């Protein structure tokens, strides 16, 4: 059996235009998906849109269109975004698809069969915006209104609801966390979830009668399912649930990684595993909660008008520049800030000056002085061997380990340390001096070591900055069929004498006016 890897983004609400936050989660998943594919895994990468709920209904009403028409339009924006940021997703799921209704209703029936769903009465303060009930002690009184911690206004609501017996799942969840120490990452989030569960779980209201834009509850025509049961089920719908014997389901469930923002960790690490276990299915192997972005130190919000559009970012920084900045500005898992100044600085330092210059200096020198072909190779000295070992052997091992822990920043550190070493190497070996001193053999060897180092860098950078890496590999005449990580080793090093194309810049330096972000 081949190794498999399945990864998901949250499905995005259709009440928003795609912004920096959505782009972040998708790019982080895309890097994982691409890395694993290149590393020999059979990968399944899923993203999509979350289209039900009262908010969507209300927005559609305001526009005088049907909710379906609204979601068709907005969902397409997210589909386009995935394409435009070079996401390599294998499927794009929409919760308004027929396949999803079947999956949700089947899962529901399983929960009923397990005795975990019962009909109850629910009364409480309800926030339409959050689609959630709040306890009295969570609310603030503002001008006679009840305001939730999220800032949403609540109204008193009484419904007959189906309830999920979450209160009975506490011990089993705690045992699952205990048996699977990596299930919730990072560690701080894991501790938060564990203490939340330890403090006691209440039963969860899982149907609504106050609106009808949702998946109908089987045999209860007045009820639609609570949006989170509906939304979470997307992950298995896409794999063909309820057909659990299908190839796809067997191969890719349980998911290796649900990537989510820290705001939705509870749904993914408490509710979702409880639903799954109740239905006789395995929980996902890992849920990683990343942090939230601010923009120039300020929370992103529509009312402040500082919501960053991925399209503006791509214009300013190029697509690969944006992909790099998203994962390179601060450690994944932390909250962080998007500062235009810092983004430009980092992109220029690493991609334009570090990598771009290394490639430019090496390849144009080779074009002029080594016959526009991969240079010949002589005896390797200790410096040569050291750089080659770092590039051909150690780099992949370290980056693989970093990504297995979603430590993108550590992956970049490893890669750009090699770039840095190679820049020091070219300066100390000084091929231009070797040329002047008429030492062509040594000059060629040095150039060879540099070209081969660039090949390794091009290969390892593919998941992160696919266009830039592709350009670099093209210039080294590395055939598309030999670009996976099986080739990232000395055995497949460049062959001396291979003709090389005319060198072109691989990453432009961002200029001041160019990077001025408003
Ligand atoms: N529809 C639910 C998810 C259901 S998954 C079964 C949802 N959608 S969302 O569109 O509101 O958010 C999707 C993701 O974008 C979340 O993981 C959220 O954390 C992320 N982000 C939204 N704004 C963000 C920032 N400012 N910064 C980082 N990520 C942010 O929640």
Predicted local distance difference test score (pLDDT) of residue 1: 55
Ligand 1 atom nearest the C-alpha of 16 is 10
- What is the rounded CA–CA span in Å between residue 338 and residue 298? 9
Give the residue, out of 22, 238, 333, with the most ligand 1 atoms within 8 A of its beta carbon, to mutate for a pocket test.
22
Radius of gyration of the chain (CA): 26
The maximal CA–CA distance of the chain, rounded, in angstroms, is: 90
Lay out the sheet containing 298-299: strands in order across: 298-299, 293-295, 336-338
Average pLDDT over residues 340-344: 96
**Alpha carbon 483 to chain centroid, angstroms:** 22
Average pLDDT over residues 336-363: 97
Q: Which residue's C-alpha comes closest to atom 27 of ligand 1? A: 292
Q: Which residue's C-alpha comes closest to atom 19 of ligand 1? A: 261
Given a cut of 50, whether residue 518 has pLDDT beyond it is no
pLDDT, tens only, 476-516: 999 999 999 999 999 999 999 999 999 999 999 998 654 44
Q: What are phi and psi of 114, to 5 degrees?
A: -75, -5
CB 105 within 8 A of CB 61: no
Q: Which residue's C-alpha comes closest to atom 12 of ligand 1? A: 12
Ligand 1 atom nearest the C-alpha of 231 is 6
Ligand 1 atom nearest the C-alpha of 268 is 6
Ligand 1 atom nearest the C-alpha of 299 is 26
CA of 149 to the centre of ligand 1 (A): 18
**DSSP code string of 264-324:** GHHIIIIIHHHHHHHTT-PPPS-EEEE--EEETTEE--TTTT-PPPHHHHHHHH-HHHHHH
Q: Cis ω on the peptide bond leading into residue 186 (within 30° of 0)?
A: yes
Given a cut of 60, whether residue 517 has pLDDT beyond it is no
Q: Considering the entire predicted model, what is its pTM?
A: 0.94
Predicted local distance difference test score (pLDDT) of residue 514: 47
Predicted local distance difference test score (pLDDT) of residue 513: 55
Predicted local distance difference test score (pLDDT) of residue 464: 98
pLDDT, tens only, 34-81: 999 999 999 999 999 999 999 999 999 999 999 999 999 999 999 999
On average, the pLDDT of the chain sits at 96
Give the residue, out of 238, 261, 299, with the most ligand 1 atoms within 8 A of its beta carbon, to mutate for a pocket test.
261
CA of 10 to the centre of ligand 1 (A): 7
- What is the rounded CA–CA span in Å between residue 365 and residue 382? 23
Q: Which residue's C-alpha comes closest to atom 29 of ligand 1? A: 21
Helix (H, G, I), strand (E, B) or coil at 52: coil
Pocket of ligand 1 (CB under 6 A): 10-13, 16, 21-22, 24-25, 50, 231-232, 234, 260-261, 263-264, 292-293, 300
Given a cut of 70, whether residue 285 has pLDDT beyond it is yes
Closest CA to 87 of 34, 43, 153: 34
Q: Which residue's C-alpha comes closest to atom 10 of ligand 1? A: 12
Average pLDDT over residues 92-109: 98
Q: What is the DSSP letter of 145?
A: E
pLDDT, tens only, 232-263: 999 999 999 999 999 999 999 999 999 999 99
- What is the rounded CA–CA span in Å between residue 253 and residue 400? 22
Average pLDDT over residues 362-374: 97
CA of 471 to the centre of ligand 1 (A): 33
Distant-in-sequence contacts of 507-513, Cβ < 8 A, 24+ apart: 507/318, 507/320, 507/321, 507/351, 507/352, 507/355, 507/356, 507/468, 508/318, 508/352, 508/356, 509/348, 509/352, 509/353, 509/356, 510/316, 510/317, 510/321, 510/344, 510/347, 510/348, 510/352, 512/344
Average pLDDT over residues 106-117: 98
Q: Which residue's C-alpha comes closest to atom 18 of ligand 1? A: 261
Give the residue, out of 9, 10, 298, with the most ligand 1 atoms within 8 A of its beta carbon, to mutate for a pocket test.
10
pLDDT, tens only, 450-467: 999 999 999 999 999 999
Ligand 1 atom nearest the C-alpha of 259 is 17
Pairing of strands 204-205, 140-142: unpaired
Give strand pairing partners of 217: 220
Predicted local distance difference test score (pLDDT) of residue 25: 98
Closest CA to 309 of 1, 5, 21, 9: 21
CA of 416 to the centre of ligand 1 (A): 30
* Torsion region of 357: left, alpha or beta (phi above 0 gives left; psi -120 to 50 gives alpha): alpha
Given a cut of 80, whether residue 161 has pLDDT beyond it is yes
Give the residue, out of 263, 272, 304, with the most ligand 1 atoms within 8 A of its beta carbon, to mutate for a pocket test.
263
Q: Which residue's C-alpha comes closest to atom 13 of ligand 1? A: 12
Average pLDDT over residues 319-323: 98
Average pLDDT over residues 269-280: 98
Given a cut of 60, whether residue 148 has pLDDT beyond it is yes
Q: Which residue's C-alpha comes closest to atom 15 of ligand 1? A: 22
Q: What percent of the chain has pLDDT over 90?
A: 93
Residue 137 vs residue 89, higher pLDDT:
89
pLDDT, tens only, 382-393: 999 999 999 999
């Amino acid at each position: 059996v081949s190794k498999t890897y399945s990864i998901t983004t949250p499905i995005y609400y259709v009440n928003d235009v795609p912004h920096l936050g959505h782009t972040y989660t998708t790019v982080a998943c895309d890097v994982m998906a691409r890395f694993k594919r290149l590393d020999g895994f059979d990968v399944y990468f899923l993203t999509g849109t979350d289209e039900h709920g009262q908010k969507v209904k209300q927005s559609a009403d305001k526009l005088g269109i049907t909710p379906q028409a609204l979601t068709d339009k907005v969902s397409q924006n997210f589909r386009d975004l995935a394409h435009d940021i070079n996401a390599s997703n294998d499927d794009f799921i929409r919760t308004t698809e027929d396949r999803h209704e079947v999956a949700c209703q089947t899962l529901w029936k399983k929960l009923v069969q397990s005795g975990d769903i019962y009909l109850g009465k629910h009364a409480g303060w309800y926030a339409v915006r959050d689609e959630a009930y709040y306890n009295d002690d969570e609310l603030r009184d503002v001008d006679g209104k009840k305001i939730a911690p999220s800032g949403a206004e609540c109204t008193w609501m009484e419904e007959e609801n189906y309830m999920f017996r979450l209160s009975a799942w506490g011990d089993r969840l705690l045992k699952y966390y205990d048996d699977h120490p990596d299930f919730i990452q990072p560690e701080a989030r894991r501790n938060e979830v564990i203490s939340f569960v330890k403090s006691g779980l209440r039963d969860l209201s899982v149907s609504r009668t106050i609106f009808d834009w949702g998946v109908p509850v089987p045999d209860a025509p007045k009820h639609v399912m609570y949006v989170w049961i509906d939304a979470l089920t997307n992950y298995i719908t896409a794999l063909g649930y309820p057909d659990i014997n299908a190839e796809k389901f067997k191969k890719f469930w349980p998911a290796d990684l649900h990537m989510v923002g820290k705001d939705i960790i509870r749904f993914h690490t408490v509710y979702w595993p409880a639903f799954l276990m109740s239905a006789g299915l395995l929980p996902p192997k890992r849920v990683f909660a990343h942090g939230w972005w601010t923009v120039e130190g300020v929370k992103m919000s529509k009312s402040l008008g500082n919501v960053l559009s991925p399209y503006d970012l791509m214009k300013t920084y190029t697509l690969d520049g944006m992909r790099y900045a998203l994962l390179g500005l601060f450690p994944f898992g932390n909250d962080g800030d998007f500062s235009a100044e810092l983004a430009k600085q980092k992109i220029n330092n690493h991609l334009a000056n570090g990598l771009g210059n290394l490639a430019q200096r090496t390849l144009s020198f080779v074009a002029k002085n080594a016959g526009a072909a991969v240079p010949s190779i002589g005896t390797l000295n200790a410096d040569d061997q050291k750089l080659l070992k770092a590039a051909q052997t150690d780099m992949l091992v370290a980056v693989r380990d970093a990504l297995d822990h979603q430590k993108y920043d550590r992956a970049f550190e490893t890669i750009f340390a090699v770039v840095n070493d190679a820049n020091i190497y070219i300066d100390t070996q000084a091929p231009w001096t070797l040329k002047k001193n008429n030492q062509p053999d040594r000059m060629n060897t040095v150039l060879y070591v540099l070209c081969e180092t660039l090949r390794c860098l091009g290969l390892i950078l593919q998941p992160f900055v696919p266009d830039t890496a592709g350009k670099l590999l093209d210039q080294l005449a590395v055939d598309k069929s030999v670009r996976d990580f099986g080739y990232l080793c000395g055995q497949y090093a460049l062959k001396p004498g291979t003709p090389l194309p005319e060198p072109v810049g691989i990453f432009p330096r961002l200029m001041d006016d160019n990077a001025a972000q408003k």
